[in-house]
Amino acid sequence: MIFINVLIKPFYIFFIDARVQDTLGSETFGMYFGVFNFAFILYIITDLGIQNYNSKTIAQNNELINQYLPNILGIKLILSVIYIATGLIFAYIIGYNSFMIKLFLIIAFNLILLSFILFLRTNISALGKYRWDSLISSLDKLILIIVLGFILYFSTIEFSLYHFILAQTFAFFIVFLTVLIINFHLSKTHTIRFSIPFTRKILKKSLPYSLVFLLMTLYMKMDGFMLERMLATPVEAGIYAATFRLYEAFNNIGYLFAVLLLPMFAGLFKERIKLKNLVHSSHNIMVFIAMSAVVITVLYRRDILIFIYPKTYTEYHGDILVLLMLSFFAISLTYIYGTLLTAAGKISTFNKIVLIGVIINLVLNMALIPNKGAYGAAIATVFTQYFVLIMQYVFSLKYFHLGFDLPLLIRRVAYTFSLSIILYLFKDGIHLNVWVMIFISGIISLLIAIFFGIIKFSDLKK
């Protein structure tokens, strides 16, 4: 899984997805970005928490797959129809034209396929077929690299937005058929059923899981949708999408941390000292990773963005990226403290914090986007992420008695200032190939982290 996340997915993001936007231009891709975020905000309708509930239930009792698989497939078919109908109603209300509605329908169909894929993958992982699941997790990206890579780099075809979206349809459909066949093989059943009593029972148990997903979706996707709708042209949304792509790519690191830490935190609540040590160690490691990424990306933003977007890059892209990278530092730490609250079953607290974050983000976007465009959306993201981080940190201290460690805080601050100053002087005083400079900067960051005790090999070993 780690191999896939650090190789195949970044390759797709930077050499395929980014090249698609650079080829289409900020205006066309900005329109797509807005419609996609709109479709994704409603995406919860296709699932309503069933995926998370099913994963937990099947993992606890493998035999239930024979009953759950055919019935949940039936439920998801009905929910998919409701999703399309709801999307069309809201698309009409917010003023989408016929082209954008057509765009929404294709994107919505792709998201429906994705919803089925993610549900079917929960059965594969719940039954312990982790290697299968890891391979499947990157299959769509691998297909897209082959298909889109050929069109973008080797074909004489004039690339269009439809090539991009329909390539996704093709990739998702292949993966869907693959996971469906595997599920039918594992469950020894090949039917699809719909039962009202079963549906009522499942939705009653799964709906609490959907609130977390809904809030996190609004939290992450609201700004792109609002940029496209609130401004006269989608250019600002396209510029924001270009820089947001790097922000999301770095977020994969935090997600991997959350996956690793969730079971580790859950097993240590009766051992407070070990829990406290794990929280501090993971915090330190994330400070090193996030701060290295922030400082290096900010210092070399122009070179990085020109490499990724040679046709459409502007200095404005760099200004927005600075803000989003500052926001990345905050969200990278929320993966630790949000995971800690989740592992302890403090879902209500977690949801309340994120809900307030959604409201803050909405208000700030409405106030800033009309005058500042994508830059305003980035400012809103920074304020929102740091608010959520501070609240999660405060409640973690309260619930788990972690204690406020002033010497540790001083070391972290000293590391941050030293790293920023040394790497700035290094960039200003040494003139080598930019990628060599970035690589050396990473080594320097590690050495500074070791010097200040942020990174300890004993912690990494544990």
Lowest model confidence (mean pLDDT) among 2-6, 57-61, 277-281, 377-381: 2-6
Specify the amino acid at residue 380: A
Model pLDDT for residues 117-173, shown as the tens digit of each residue:
988 888 887 777 777 777 787 788 889 999 999 988 888 888 889 999 999 999 999
Q: Over 90: is that where the pLDDT of 11 sits? A: no
Q: H/E element holding 292?
A: helix 272-299
Q: Over 90: is that where the pLDDT of 344 sits? A: no
Q: Taking residues 84-108, report their average pLDDT.
A: 93
What 3 state SS string does 17-54 have? HHHHHHHHCHHHHHHHHHHHHHHHHCHHHHCCCHHHHH
Residue 456: what pLDDT? 77
Q: How far is Cα 369 from Cα 453, in angstroms, rounded to an integer?
A: 42
Q: Which residue has the tokens 């148990």?
A: 205
Lowest model confidence (mean pLDDT) among 44-53, 286-295, 367-376: 44-53
265 Cβ contact partners less than 8 Å away, ≥ 6 residues apart = 275, 278, 279, 339, 340, 343, 344
**Which two tokens mark 42?**
């409603």
Q: Which residue has the tokens 């998801």?
A: 76
Pick 135 or 359 by higher pLDDT: 359
Residue 165: what pLDDT? 93
Contact 279, 340 (CB under 8 A): yes
Residue 459: what pLDDT? 63
Pick 258 or 308 by higher pLDDT: 308
**pLDDT band (50, 70, 90) for residue 194:** confident
User: In a 3-state reduction of DSSP, which class is residue 120?
Assistant: helix
Q: How far is Cα 46 from Cα 64, in angstroms, rounded to an integer?
A: 22
Model pLDDT for residues 362-378, shown as the tens digit of each residue:
999 999 999 999 999 99
**In the chain, what are the domain boundaries?**
1-226, 231-403
Q: How far is Cα 207 from Cα 193, in angstroms, rounded to an integer?
A: 21
**pLDDT band (50, 70, 90) for residue 4:** low
Residue 461: what pLDDT? 66
Q: Over 70: is that where the pLDDT of 179 sits? A: yes
Give 296-302 contacts, CB < 8 A, sequence gap 24+: 296/423, 296/438, 296/441, 296/442, 296/445, 297/246, 297/250, 297/321, 297/325, 298/322, 298/325, 299/423, 299/424, 299/427, 299/441, 300/427, 300/434, 300/437, 300/438, 300/441
| 193 φ, ψ (degrees, to nearest 5) | -130, 160
Please state, in angstroms and as integers, the Cα–Cα distance from residue 334 to each residue in 364, 389, 397, following that order. 20, 5, 14
Residue 109: what pLDDT? 95
Residue 191: what pLDDT? 79
Q: Over 70: is that where the pLDDT of 242 sits? A: yes
What's the mean per-residue pLDDT of the chain?
85
Q: Which residue has the tokens 């977690």?
A: 350
